[in-house]
Structure 1
């Protein structure tokens, strides 16, 4: 390690070594070159040139108009004052200018270069370019020009009339106080007013935002509001709009939008497109508009009761649901009820009750012991984890129990019942279940078909039992052949060999009671049939949904290296 000092106040070229060097300039216009190692370069007064070279270097300059280049490595580059050019070059660099480390600054150009950089301007009119990588850029006071460059960047103008550009990548931009020009560039970019002290009015369709000044918005897709009562409107793109606190009005307009109300009594309108709503706490109005729209209570810590037929969801407040087709529950024991449209209902965690009612519905129980009722229509039911009770209702339904010990009832129609790995109980209506298929991958299972009598003669009102390859076939139409009006249990037999004379021909097995049938095929006697479906539970409370994740904390700003005493 070497300490190298300028001999006098004249212009001096000082060059380090391949080791860790400390080089001090003097009052003249000095050129300091660190070469290899972790070097520390002090420019002192004058218009200096500092080059760190290879390694993680520290470059500090005084009041002159200097050029500071970190070179390769993760460098710290700081300047007290002057019209400086500061460059991080390759590596994850930190560049700090002006009064943040003492003194005022006139105008500085700060270039991050390659890597994930932290750049903080000073009191003057700074020009900042993050370059490649994930950069964190702040202009501070005065009218700054800040460009994120390539990568997804955080760009903050702070005070002054700033010009902010996200460039390439999905960027986070906040103009601060003043009349700012904010251009997102390529990618999905968000403008944030989270630090605003007054309510804001933002309209992406017109490209104007007012509140902390008048901002011009270009190439912005997403909005973050303030803690006040904001009015936030999207455009024809797919917008993320976040109200935060306050009684906010969020309008998605065209596109498939994601609207998050936050705290307060909010009004959320999706417009055209298939939209996602999370109202948050308070008494909210959620208007889906056109398209297939979803209201989510994911992240709720207490039960939720949402009913699309009557258009309400109750909880920490009372939400008014208009034009909503789909619901996501929370982690509690939720009650979700559809309407006559095609509904997607997802219970997520908890012991949930889901009822599709009319229409072709998709019901997902999630974790917990759930009750799923498809209702009328051709429905798709999936119980998920837990011991679930699933009833397809009228229509040709697909019913999947999951890995628990499930009860699966097809209801009327040609249903497909798949039990999963647990010990499942199947129930089919013998008068309406023609064309149904049962498939199971494990466990000790039971089957009940009320409304039929087994008979060898296949008289009216009776059924026959036979085999088709590896499938067990229950002949409900008594014609002695396999067709769409039979009930088929697939993979019931281990092999295709047996007494069946040919594919499509049923060999009747004889007159058996239901107990004898279950015993003959090593199937447990059926448990009691499922109980009638419970009435819709009393509405419960929806909690505040979880908003989109907060942008990650930028890398910490390293402390200012101490300036050693003059030798």
Structure 2
């Protein structure tokens, strides 16, 4: 901190960069330059012989000591007379001192301290505080009426959202805005108004904090035996602090949480009995649904509600009880017991990838956790491996290239961002992806159809099953059995593998590979773009849908008179033409008529194809 004091002349005082400067010009017309950087720079008029008018927006100060020019000044201390102090667009601190002062914060998040006398505090834009930390007596502040009385006389408040209380027993009442009220020392009474997100902090002393008039609140008792009452229907965060506290959440629809993150030792929290012991003291809990543990080895027990239990640091035991609970052990080797209900284990806050296996009840990566009675897993931001059990599980991978295997039950699988892999083994399994969430792959041992935004499918095992694509560019691979592979509208790659397979590329420019076995290549559209990479006359067959190839009216093996080897039709019945030089199989709907032939597929050169290699269906 740089402290610069001028003389009785016309001085220029320049503070240092990146530190808090205290500049006192004294008598004369002075220039006060605070210096740049992060420090809060002050212009002081404590000893001025008369009232001052200071305007940081115009950079001018008059009266009292003279006419000053101010630059890069964020804080002003007035005189013992009736001053007018005006802030600028920055975050200002204005201290009126004695006298009936007018403090105008302007834009920015300002702190206004009226001092002794009946002052007027107008916050202006931003989130502004009235500071009564130095009041000689207790104060009563009511934002709804815009008044502050007690210690430093009677002040008028407007556009003020926050308040710092005194060292005494204060009464602080909010309004319909989002308020931040800090009781400080003393046995304070803090009452929230109708704000949606109030912060009520009792500080030291035995405080009474009532947010029942608010929408949702953050309540902190601080040291002492405090009483905390949550909001009507909102979700409240309640931290009793040191002492034997009473925490009462709302009785409406909100989700209220008790926090023990600052506890100096492990806590035992039991929502069934409504008690918490150890750490901060012995607390009484009512209508609390969530608990956040300490840095130590905690035991947290849920009740019949849908609880959210977080162990945080340490080797914690989390027991959800009945209800649909969410358990998050975080760091340490934790024990997560879901109990009755549809319960979830969360790992989204893990600092590395996790492997969670509900079948074995073990999770590694964020410590080594033991799981029981858990049905659902929420993964981390990394590349996780999530494995379900025999029941119906919900698995959510989050960010990262995740592997999701639901197990034997009918599972709900969500990979999230990045390139995910899915294992499907139940026809009731469902996979969910959104656009732009990576390139994903499904390995399925049952017949499966790719959902939207999933690109690749591989059939596994030895059962006769089928695979279906979607509108994207899919790669679909069969297993060792006889498979039917059907693609959609994209430019697809179909690989039959071993077995006698049927491949249908659908729309798009598709690449079809039958693999080993006697394979059928089925064409139900005519769009010129397909190619067969391994057609063999001895084993494979072309299937043509006569709903598309309408000149082929009769189903069964193609009539000999309707097939020709060459480059074009020579008579009216030459509908299917194999160009053994170019390797194309063509369809000419009017034979040697005026209409040109269309390529069905590229099939390979120098094949000894005949009509018996083609079947009309």
**Partner of 2:245 in structure 1?**
180
> Does residue 93 of the first structure (1) align with residue 165 of the second (2)?
no
Contact 1:401–1:408 at 8 Å: present in 2 too?
Answer: no
Contact 1:424–1:443 at 8 Å: present in 2 too?
Answer: no
Q: State the distance in 2 between where 1:428 and 1:362 align.
A: 24
Q: State the distance in 1 between where 2:165 and 2:223 align.
A: 16
- Cα offset, 1:241, TM superposition: 1.4
Q: State the distance in 1 between where 2:558 and 2:118 align.
A: 96
Q: State the distance in 2 between where 1:193 and 1:453 align.
A: 62
TM (norm. structure 2) is 0.58
Among candidates 104, 112, 130, match of residue 174 of structure 2:
112
Contact 1:355–1:372 at 8 Å: present in 2 too?
Answer: yes
Larger Rg: 2
**Partner of 2:491 in structure 1?**
443
- Cα offset, 1:393, TM superposition: 1.0
**Partner of 1:164 in structure 2?**
228
User: After the TM superposition, which residues 501-512 of structure 1 pair with which residues of structure 2 at under 5 Å, given as runs?
Assistant: none
> Does residue 129 of the first structure (1) align with residue 191 of the second (2)?
yes
**Partner of 1:375 in structure 2?**
425
Contact 2:87–2:105 at 8 Å: present in 1 too?
Answer: yes
Contact 1:325–1:341 at 8 Å: present in 2 too?
Answer: yes
Among candidates 307, 322, 329, match of residue 372 of structure 2:
322
- Cα offset, 1:499, TM superposition: 0.8
> Does residue 392 of the first structure (1) align with residue 444 of the second (2)?
yes
Structure 1 residues 326 and 248: alpha-carbon distance in aligned structure 2, compared to 1, 3 A threshold? closer
Structure 1 residues 319 and 129: alpha-carbon distance in aligned structure 2, compared to 1, 3 A threshold? closer
Contact 1:157–1:174 at 8 Å: present in 2 too?
Answer: yes
Q: State the distance in 2 between where 1:266 and 1:393 align.
A: 34
Structure 1 residues 92 and 448: alpha-carbon distance in aligned structure 2, compared to 1, 3 A threshold? farther
Superposed CA deviations along residues 520-555 of structure 1, whole A, max 9, x for unmatched, are 443789xxxxxxxxxxxxxxxxxxxxxxxxxxxxxx
Contact 2:340–2:373 at 8 Å: present in 1 too?
Answer: no
Contact 1:390–1:401 at 8 Å: present in 2 too?
Answer: no
Q: State the distance in 1 between where 2:244 and 2:220 align.
A: 13
> Does residue 255 of the first structure (1) align with residue 305 of the second (2)?
no
Among candidates 124, 131, 139, match of residue 84 of structure 1:
139
Superposed CA deviations along residues 56-94 of structure 1, whole A, max 9, x for unmatched, are 7834234xxx87774563453425221322244453533
**Partner of 1:193 in structure 2?**
260
Q: State the distance in 2 between where 1:329 and 1:360 align.
A: 19
User: After the TM superposition, which residues 461-540 of structure 1 pair with which residues of structure 2 at under 5 Å, given as runs?
Assistant: 498-499=549-550, 520=585, 521-522=600-601
> Does residue 424 of the first structure (1) align with residue 475 of the second (2)?
yes
- Cα offset, 1:240, TM superposition: 1.6
Among candidates 264, 276, 284, match of residue 216 of structure 1:
284
Q: State the distance in 1 between where 2:349 and 2:111 align.
A: 47
> Does residue 204 of the first structure (1) align with residue 283 of the second (2)?
no
Contact 1:128–1:139 at 8 Å: present in 2 too?
Answer: yes
- Cα offset, 1:239, TM superposition: 1.6
- Cα offset, 1:274, TM superposition: 1.3
Structure 1 residues 221 and 337: alpha-carbon distance in aligned structure 2, compared to 1, 3 A threshold? closer
**Partner of 1:409 in structure 2?**
459
Structure 1 residues 498 and 166: alpha-carbon distance in aligned structure 2, compared to 1, 3 A threshold? same
RMSD: 4.9
* Bigger share in strand: 2
Unaligned runs of 5+ in 2: 1-44, 63-76, 147-157, 503-516, 528-542, 564-578, 586-599, 605-617
Counterpart of 2:341 in 1: which secondary structure?
A: coil
Structure number with greater CO (CA < 8 Å, separation at least 6) is 1
Q: State the distance in 2 between where 1:375 and 1:57 align.
A: 62
Structure 1 residues 509 and 376: alpha-carbon distance in aligned structure 2, compared to 1, 3 A threshold? farther
- Cα offset, 1:150, TM superposition: 1.8
Structure 1 residues 249 and 144: alpha-carbon distance in aligned structure 2, compared to 1, 3 A threshold? same
Unaligned runs of 5+ in 1: 9-15, 27-31, 99-104, 279-295, 455-460, 472-488, 526-567
Structure 1 residues 237 and 510: alpha-carbon distance in aligned structure 2, compared to 1, 3 A threshold? farther
Structure 1 residues 44 and 87: alpha-carbon distance in aligned structure 2, compared to 1, 3 A threshold? farther
- Cα offset, 1:344, TM superposition: 4.0
> Does residue 236 of the first structure (1) align with residue 304 of the second (2)?
yes
Contact 1:467–1:506 at 8 Å: present in 2 too?
Answer: no
Q: State the distance in 2 between where 1:201 and 1:67 align.
A: 50
Contact 2:396–2:415 at 8 Å: present in 1 too?
Answer: yes
Superposed CA deviations along residues 378-408 of structure 1, whole A, max 9, x for unmatched, are 44456886665533213x433348465x353
Q: State the distance in 1 between where 2:476 and 2:179 align.
A: 61
Superposed CA deviations along residues 89-128 of structure 1, whole A, max 9, x for unmatched, are 4535332232xxxxxx433222333433332223322222
TM (norm. structure 1) is 0.63
Q: State the distance in 2 between where 1:252 and 1:198 align.
A: 22
- Cα offset, 1:414, TM superposition: 6.2
Contact 1:465–1:509 at 8 Å: present in 2 too?
Answer: no
- Cα offset, 1:154, TM superposition: 2.3
**Partner of 1:561 in structure 2?**
none
- Cα offset, 1:496, TM superposition: 7.1
Structure 1 residues 452 and 319: alpha-carbon distance in aligned structure 2, compared to 1, 3 A threshold? same
> Does residue 154 of the first structure (1) align with residue 218 of the second (2)?
yes
Structure 1 residues 267 and 77: alpha-carbon distance in aligned structure 2, compared to 1, 3 A threshold? same
User: After the TM superposition, which residues 260-339 of structure 1 pair with which residues of structure 2 at under 5 Å, given as runs?
Assistant: 260-278=328-346, 296=347, 299-302=350-353, 304-315=354-365, 317-330=367-380, 334-339=384-389
